[in-house]
Amino acid sequence: MIPASTTPDNRCDEIHLMKRIAQQDQSALSQLYDRYARVIYSVAHKSLGSVEECEEVVLDVFAQVWRTASRYDPARSRVDTWLFMIARSRVLDRLRGVQRRGKVTEAVMAPDFSHTQAPPSPSEHAEIAERRTQVLNALQQLPPEQQQVLEMSYYQGLTQREIAAQTGMALGTVKTRIRLGLEKLRSALHAESWDSV
């Protein structure tokens, strides 16, 4: 799949989109997302192979674009090149995280152990159950609107467009709520893991 920015006109358009994003224009971010989310997902999937991890990479990339668009320099790289550099960095972060978490996280991500090599040991089972409880508790602390979109995405397996269609929310609102919900979940789980040390 070839990114849309291969023509000079598209490159100029994307530089303009970046300027609008730098001014906190959500519709510009949505346009850039629509152009690149699928290809970034595909690139991430080749390394990660997990739907959840790949979706998080895509969300992380566009959250970083939102935060750092003002630092984008068209003289240094094209927009697509910049996006793929961010995506590569996020994929490497995820791979390192997967290696650190090892078998326990793998089991949490796939609670029906039928396709894993060996069932978890009793201590791994206890860790999985504890982690699952922590995740559910952290999820309960989120505002209901963020809880709803995360549950639809991760438990029902719906795409962001499907969530928007089912709920009647704007796609940008769904994306924002998922991003904010994931950030709050990460913070809550990180704080809880430090509290338990």
Spatial separation of the C-alpha atoms in residues 83 and 40, rounded to whole Å: 8
Average pLDDT per run of 10 along the chain, which is 197 residues long? 55 90 92 92 87 87 92 91 91 75 46 53 71 78 86 80 88 88 80 54
pLDDT, residue 118, reads: 59
pLDDT, residue 101, reads: 53
Spatial separation of the C-alpha atoms in residues 150 and 158, rounded to whole Å: 10
Element spanning 105, H or E = helix 79-109
- Two tokens, residue 128: 């999985």
Beta carbons of 91 and 60 less than 8 angstroms apart: no
Beta carbons of 146 and 185 less than 8 angstroms apart: no
Give the C-alpha distances (Å, rounded to integers) separating 28 from 23, 31, 172: 10, 5, 10
Q: Which domains does the chain have, with CATH numbers?
A: 1-99 (1.10.1740.10), 125-197 (1.10.10.10)
pLDDT, residue 106, reads: 47
pLDDT, residue 120, reads: 62
pLDDT, residue 193, reads: 55
Beta carbons of 58 and 179 less than 8 angstroms apart: no
